[in-house]
Amino acid sequence: MKTKELVETFLKKEEEAIKSLKKEKGNLIKAISEISKRVNKKGRVIYIGAGTSGRLGILDAVECKPTFSTDLFLGVIAGGKNAVFKSKEGAEDDEKLGVSDMKKLKLKKNDVVIGISASGETPYTVSAIKYANKIGVLTVGIASNPKSTLVKISKYKIAPLIKREIIQGSSRLSSGTVQKIILNMISSISMINAGKVYGDLMIDVQPTNKKLVKRAINIIATVCKISFDEALILFKKSNKNTRTAIVMHYKKCDLNTVKKLLSKPNFNLTSVIT
């Protein structure tokens, strides 16, 4: 096949993967609804997998900190941190490792363990989910095989059927695509439900570089309907905290008063603005 044909083939295959994922809408709603309930109770969301699946879980978890100012999302990969950069294929067969990695986390009742595996048969991931089930922690299985062990043993399942990859056995392709989309929805929607987003603005963004500082100030300007320069002053007064700056503007109060308001468990930013 020529390059043009290959590109067209890959795009068609990815479209098929998305169609398959759309059929899982009901399962997505059920799983994310339950995950959101636990996140609102400060439960952790723990992604666990091997190879590509493990790396995608880590990617999503790592991005949650700067985007939503949260430490509730964790990624665990077979073989540990070194496996993120260098493949450790044998680690995925280690059932004992899956259990020991879960034990290290000291799981609590509001935590959620999400197993990610294209085949749904990865011993490391399956054993971790079995352990989480055993101690009463909510489990979710993400796989490309609806009849797999992971899907059968998980409390909630998200299993878009991927019959065949363009390169057989290369699960980083269509299976990886749908896994990435699923994880995006799990983290983003649960954070939206937790009040970490106002409209389509990430009001809890961490201003850790020049780009994000500018974004934070623009968010303040947009929500408060003020100029960029006015928002900059507010940003500095709020100790560079976007949400705090917005509340300071609408409540016409100082930093200490806002901190007390934000510490209340039932605090609602929308009610302050409206």
Residues annotated as catalytic are 63, 92
End-to-end CA, the chain: 58
Could you give the count of Cα atoms lying within 13 Å of 223 in the half-sphere of its Cβ? 31
- Written as one letter, the residue type at 10 is F
How many CB atoms are closer than 10 A to CB 181?
15
In a 3-state reduction of DSSP, which class is residue 241? coil
| Cβ(107)–Cβ(113) below 8 Å | yes
Q: What whole-number distance in Å separates Cα of residue 260 and Cα of residue 243?
A: 13
Backbone angles phi, psi at 46, to 5 degrees: -115, 110
Helix (H, G, I), strand (E, B) or coil at 213: helix
The dihedral formed by the CA atoms of 182, 144, 28 and 137, expressed in degrees to the nearest 10: -90
Of 104, 144, 157, 156, nearest in space to 128 by CA = 104
Beta carbons within 8 Å of 252's beta carbon, 6+ residues apart: none
